[in-house]
Chain A
Amino acid sequence: MTGLVLPSIHYLAILPVVILFVAALVLLVASALVRGALSRALTTGFTLAASLAAAAAAIWQWSYVADHGATTTIAHAIVLDGFAVVSSAVVALSLALATLVAHDWSRREHVAGAEYHVLSLAAAAGAILMCQANDLVVIFLGLEILSIGLYVLVAFDRQRAISAEAALKYFLLGGFASAIFIYGAALVYGATGSTNLTSLSYFLGSNTLLRPGLLFAGGGLLLVGFAFKVAVVPFHLWSPDVYHGAPTPVTGFMASIVKVGAFAAFLRVLVSALGTQMTTWRPILFVLIVASTLVGASLGLVQRNIKRMLAYSSINHAGFILLGLYAADARGSAATLFYLMTYAPIVVASFAVVTLVGGEGDEAHSIASYRGLARRQPWLGGALAVLLLSQLGAPLTTGFYAKFAVLAASVDAGGGALALIALLGAAIAASFYLRWVFALYADEGRGATRVPVPAATGLVIALGVVITVLFGLWPGPLASLAQHATVLFTP
């Protein structure tokens, strides 16, 4: 009679998750124990420190992985490899940037208390867990931690009905997606006898399923679950409303870390677990990519609200990121990671500008608010122009190489036609980015009031621009980091 045997735990592997979780708990308990609200500087500083500590832990992990190779722990449910480390670091750094934006926003909107930071720390911990998950159940765990935090964050602005509406929508559809995902995991378990990604790939590699229907159904449901979370067409309907309704800093946070966490897990499921079934899922991905790039771009054209426009732009981006998954090889994985690394800071910084322009009440998001912004405030408007051009994929910004990398991967994998269609989507998208850029430099609106730029948010915007331009001129280091990270993929 043996008792419950706990699997061995390699603590370094889960250090970033632990740091963020513990930080969330400490902040939660402290805010309950201290009389009155914790000071804003304290909570922001604490969250910032925790996110930077998580990023530092990722660097430590990186040196470990470089020395000892990739490894798994906790009964192979958690993986420590280059891909996981780099994507975790991206999540941690996005959290740091988003925290700075939220700091100035909470002061402007008179949001007091530590709850915002507790939730964002927890959500980021969930995203990192997804990056490291090597088991469908752990992915689900990460997904839920991430999502539940975000459901509340989306509703954080209680003054605005639209925020609550968005949260409810997000909650219902997100819960629905989670249910689909877990059902898919159950069916996959039924078909193969495991939820572990490595075991799945081993099982599928060494057995031929006579009746693959159960596996296909399960895999299909997993795909739908992921497609909901990363918002690709036709599972995107929630995203414009949620992007619009959520407080703008939350939108930026969500747009970056959800994409990183969900795509990292998505990639791992497709490449390492279901790699043998490539011929089955590739056609589905093909349709999703075509639909996302084209529909995302076309619907973006008619938006008059910048948050909705950026929502459709993110759908278009999701289509591009899927190109890397479509390739599902070393080049494709590296390209996906590279895309996520470059996309996250751009999108956080873009929403930082939107947060500032939104003004008190977070309402001024129409194209009219942006008319002449770059004439009144060359630095702020110019920064947004650079960020939009980077999203468009203009040369000398990271966006160009990100698109180039995923396109190269898909062409290498025989998806030349797909790459062409995606580029057509990019061309359509270009016209709506340019419309905003044109509005920025329009001659009108000279009399409008200046948008105040607080230090922390200004820093985030500057960092976003510097990253996109610096690595746009000199993409080598980031690209080779992504490549190295992928070489150290799961065992």
Chain B
Amino acid sequence: MRFPYLTVLVLLPAAGALALGLMVRASRLVVELVGLAVALATLGLAVAVAVLLHAGAGGYQFVSDHAWAQSLGISWFVGVDGISVFLVVLAGVLFPIALAGARARENARAFVAWMLLLEAACIGTFISLDLILFFLFFELTLVPAYFLISGWGFTRRAYAAVKFFVYTFLGSAFLLVGILVLAFLHQSQRGVLTFSLPALEHTHLTGSTGVLLFLAFTAAFAVKAPLFPFHTWSPDAYTEAPTGGSMVLSGVLAKLGTYGIIRFDLNLFPQAAKTLAPLLLTLAVIGILYGALVASAQSDLKRLVAYSSLAQMGFITLGVVAGSKIAMVGAVLLMFNHGVITAGFFLLIGFLERRRGTATIADLTGLQGPAPVLAALFTVVMLASIGLPGLSGFVSEYLILIGTFATHAWWGVAATFGVVLAALYLLWVYQRVFHGRATGENAQVVDATTSERWVMVPVVVLVVVLGVFPKPVLDRISPSVQQLISHVAPAGVSK
């Protein structure tokens, strides 16, 4: 029997969380080292899976399928392909960075334990091929995320945590009912009750049923992503969450939504996906433009990144539903890149906040003088987010836009304005925060410490390397996307 990589990938952080939960007397240092070690081991395993993944093949690999709760019809059915593997790696990368770079001020043991449980849940969501198992992990992410926001967040954390929980819970309601309806439809056609994704792909759906189910599934994913107009929870959650929480919420959890659209909406309802593509494309474009405009009007750095995230998630959605292979490859790549970039943003804002006690833009000025390294790091992340050629954001946004031009030209044209707007508001905020003369408290700001620099190294490396040499990643994404596109092809345009 082969080594059960994926099962271990979920169980390792979960076991770490459990162990930390029981280490009642451990000191803060021990707790944080254990947490970091577990997260790094998980990263190692995730990278091993990505490297061992057979690059030329599009199907699911590392598959394992075990009966779990047979009387309920649920099985432990997991596997990865070129699309999900990079999201697993993304989770593997961001959690150790968050643990090392954004340590909790108090009660570190519980913080690290919740973070590891959240990592287990995220990875579980990305590898599930059983719909109920997916739903279980999808919902499970809410619990640690809720505790992270409400336990270590800022002033309005209670409100933000409950809003986040209830919003996503509400979205999931549609998903659960959708899954059940689909499974029973399949049962009535084939005589077996199963929640397995490959099996349910063969359900025969009439046009309107497909559309309704597509909408039910998409409701959950649109809230999670978030996609305009289901985004109102996200600025609150991202702003009130502790830095580590914001990093993984926007970096990893948001990807659950767009990943869900790729994996479930497109695989299960290709016909409906084609019918409703204009709707989603329009929402995506509105999200891109609206996110950018609202971001430029924010007075708080974290809310600005939250809205810029909304715009970026719009780009991802655009690439996913455009129905072109190139755009979808770009979207998958952008999921990874945006995860790294936005986590980098929140981490840097966390550094600033630790120094100044505020993330209000008006209170910060001229920080380039006292903190040049911090400013340089911010510049790199910002330029990557704008989409400067040579950095990671460019490759993915470029792929999405040229792919979309080929299939849905006008939406592509509209989305391009989003790139320009992003440059505007990011450069403007950079100017306000880092340029000028630092006076008062701003002049006292200490530059990035050694440990802070080290924590930012992986972010910068990923941003640069994936900007210059994305080939190994693209090679693994492409076959899976090709397979998906040809699955959707009879319905969609293949370009």
Q: Interface residues, chain A, CB within 8 Å of chain B?
A: 334, 389, 394-396, 400-401, 404-405, 407-408, 411-412, 416, 419-420, 423-424, 426-428, 430-431, 434-435, 437-438, 441, 474-476, 479-480, 482-483
Contacts and interface: CB of A to CB of B under 8 A. Distances in A.
Contacts of B158: 435, 438
A423 B137 contact: no
18 contacts: A394-B139, A395-B140, A401-B69, A404-B72, A407-B176, A407-B180, A412-B184, A419-B177, A423-B173, A424-B173, A430-B165, A430-B166, A434-B146, A434-B150, A434-B165, A438-B158, A438-B161, A479-B69
B110 to A, nearest CB: 9
A407 B184 CA distance: 12
A483 B71 CA distance: 7
Given A411-B177, A419-B176, A438-B161, 11 more contacts: A400-B139, A408-B73, A408-B184, A419-B180, A420-B174, A427-B166, A427-B170, A430-B165, A431-B165, A476-B70, A479-B72
Contact of A475 (B69, B143, B184): B69
A394 B168 CA distance: 13
Interface in B175-202: 176-177, 180-181, 184
A395 B69 contact: no
B293 interface: no
B68 interface: yes
Nearest to B175: A423
Interface string B121-156: 000000000001000110110110011001100000
B162 interface: yes
A419 B177 CA distance: 7
B169 interface: yes
B141 to A, nearest CB: 9
Contact of A427 (B136, B173, B180, B184): B173
Given A395-B140, A435-B162, A479 B71 contact: yes
B161 A396 contact: no
A475 B169 contact: no
Nearest to A411: B180
Contacts of B166: 427-428, 430-431, 434
A428 B170 CA distance: 9
A483 B72 CA distance: 9
A416 to B, nearest CB: 5
A389 B180 contact: no
Contacts, number: 93
A2 to B, nearest CB: 50
Given A396-B140, A411-B180, A434-B165, A476 B173 contact: no
Given A395-B136, A427-B170, A438-B161, A480 B181 contact: no
Interface in B259-314: none
Given A438-B158, A476-B71, A426 B139 contact: no
Contacts of B70: 476, 480
Contacts of A416: 177, 180-181
A361 B184 CA distance: 52
Contacts of A395: 136-137, 139-140, 143
Contacts of A423: 173, 176-177
B150 to A, nearest CB: 5
A394 B143 contact: yes
Contact of A389 (B143, B150, B169, B173): B143
Contacts of A474: 69
A411 B181 contact: yes
B137 to A, nearest CB: 7
B333 to A, nearest CB: 30
Interface string B60-92: 000000001111110000000000000000000
A476 B176 contact: no
A480 B132 CA distance: 17
A431 B70 CA distance: 32
Contacts of B151: 441
Contacts of A438: 150, 158, 161-162
A389 to B, nearest CB: 7
B96 to A, nearest CB: 24
A412 B193 CA distance: 11
Contacts of A407: 176-177, 180
A150 to B, nearest CB: 34
B490 to A, nearest CB: 28
